[in-house]
Structure 1
Amino acid sequence: MNISYQLTQGQIGMLISMPHNGQLIPDDIASTMTEKAKLVPDTDWYMDKLYDFAQAMGIATIIPKYSRYVIDLNRDISGVNLYPGANSTELCPTTAFDLSPLYLDGKSPNEAEIQRRIKNYWQPYHQAIADTLADMRQQYERVVLLDAHSILSHVPRFFAGKLPDFNFGNADGQSCSQALIDKVSALDLSPYSSVVNGRFKGGYITRAYGQPEQGIHAIQLELSQYTYMDEPSDQYNQQKAEQVKVKLQQFVTCLADFANAKS
């Protein structure tokens, strides 16, 4: 088993990927980074805790151990910008969301180092996703991939103002069927705000693996950290989290029901 991620098997045709939940930085990489970078402030905090109900529902999960600062598992290794014209972080980010440098002077990863990280961290994670989805597709008529993310409600680098609470994306209709996105759109998420294909339409994982015509439906949720944390700190707010988890579970149940339904 590859030690760069944790894959938990399920009993239904659904997988939850949490590509930005990891917080570790290998010592050899950490030695080239700033002190602030080592605190990994742009982590999708507590995704594993928010979705801890998934295992009891028979849903498989995959979670990396290493930080997005090592390599961003939700980026295309070709370097293509997922949001042309928008300010985005790289495959191996060199700046934090607040534009502060992640590396000491002259220590940013060169091409050889980027390729090493692709081989050691990116490829194993994606191979595990591909293999898991292929195995599921052998067993089930429909498979659903949820790519689970979270982000601060205010990040001027990426969007103006305050982000909606639930940000669903299916690559403008390309990564999952209209029937599924209609079911998601019909959910009563009040008192939380929601949007479909707003600022976040789905990253590389959603776009690469979502093949609804092949029976694999992918959707991304970018959850505002305001819904479960004491922003702008990285502190988990138990009361807020328990409230939003009710709605999260409704959403995940909707996806699981879709996966289990016969067409």
Structure 2
Amino acid sequence: MITVVRADTPLILAFPHGGTDLAGLDDRFVSPWRARHDADWHIAALYDGLVEATTIATAVSRSVIDVNRDPSGASLYPGQATTELCPTTTFDGDPLLAGAAPDAAEIARRREAYFDPYHAALTAEIARLRDRHGRVVVHDCHSIRSRIPRLFDGALPVFNIGTNGGTTCDPALRDAVAGVCAASGRSHVVDGRFRGGWTTRHHGAPARGVHAIQMELAICAYLPEPDLPTGADWPPAYDPIHAAPLRTTLASILQACLEFAR
């Protein structure tokens, strides 16, 4: 369920939410479509070939277990609407499960099967690259619909840079990435609604040469996004022409990450 493609550059691209595999639990959900509704659609295709980097991805849907949540179950965004380690609702607040929520034993089973291997792979790749380079950048790749009233007001900026208040990476990296976003002419914010999830907060350790940054993209920047997605129009097909302008900016962002690490 975990795919690692190794490179020797000091950059790791992490894909925690691109998977749609329901791990044989299809009947536990209201519908398979709803269980896959909040995936980071086509995120791997969006980043494919932009730069030489190690990639780590899980095939498991975030509806089975969200590998970017605190495994203790504590909220990463206290006081704000969010979804759980093993979600019970969609982002919109619609019921996700056909029956009862998974109990503690089931959550522990899913964590051991899917969550722990993902972060073990990420830890191993960070260690491998730290042995070769003085600094390593973990670029955590995400996307989300641009309008979800339950989670945020209005339209989300295109580029949402998360560093958990500057704790997960050197300010020079944050500023370099923000500078590329600003130069693109598209909207961006640093540590706004999405300040970085478990990946950046857990693995980011600037004092030890590990600099983690989350990039949450408004999905409308590379996919045609309907106002209210339905089974007929969601997910939309990936269109390389539609995605090309955003890919150009992402390539510059990743190059900035490499230049910082080097």
**TM-score band (shorter)?**
over 0.9
Q: Count residues in correspondence.
A: 253
Residues 9-158 of structure 1: pairs in structure 2 closer than 5 A: 9-27=6-24, 29-35=25-31, 37=33, 40-54=36-50, 57-106=51-100, 108-158=101-151
SS in 2 for 1:17: strand
Structure 1 counterpart of 2:235: 234
State the shift of 1:32 in Å: 1.4
Match of 2:251 in 1: 249
1:89 Cα deviation after fit: 0.4
**Counterparts of 1:58 and 1:183, CA distance in 2:** 19
- Mapped partners of 1:74, 1:67: distance in 2: 12
SS at match of 1:186: helix
Q: Take 1:204 and 1:21, find their aligned partners in 2: how far apart are those partners?
A: 16
Hey, what's the Cα distance between the residues in 2 that align with 1:164 and 1:100?
Answer: 24
SS at match of 1:179: helix
Q: 1:166-185 alignment to 2 at 5 Å?
A: 166-185=159-178
**Structure 1 runs not aligned, ≥5 long:** none
Let me know the Cα RMSD of the aligned residues: 1.3
Give the deviation of 1:80 after TM superposition: 1.2
Structure 1 position 203 matched with structure 2 position 197: yes
2:243 and 2:53 mapped to 1: Cα distance? Answer: 20
- Asked if 2 retains the 8 angstrom alpha-carbon contact of 1:36 and 1:102, the reply is no
Aligned-partner SS, 2:216: strand
Q: Distance in 2 between matches of 1:258 and 1:186?
A: 13
4+ runs of 1 displaced by more than 2 Å?
Answer: 36-39, 188-191, 236-240
- Provide the C-alpha distance between the structure 1 equivalents of 2:251 and 2:131, rounded to a whole number of angstroms: 26
The AA in structure 1 aligned to 2:166 is G
| 2:11–2:53 Cα contact (<8 Å) kept | yes
Could you list the per-position Cα deviations for residues 21-75 of structure 1 after superposition, in whole angstroms to 9, with x for gaps in the alignment?
0011122x11211115555010001111011024xx3200001011000100000
Q: How far has the Cα of 1:183 moved from its partner?
A: 1.3
Cα pair 2:35 2:96 within 8 Å, conserved: no
- Alpha-carbon contact 2:26-2:32 (below 8 Å) kept: no
Give the whole-Å Cα distance in 2 for the aligned partners of 1:87 and 1:206.
20
1:168–1:197 contact (8 Å) kept in structure 2: yes
Q: Deviations over 1:84-108 (max 9, x none)?
A: 11011000001111211111133x2
Aligned-pair CA distance for 1:5: 1.0
Q: CA-to-partner distance for each residue in 1:139-189, whole Å, 9 max, x for gaps?
A: 110100000000000011110000000000111100000111121222244
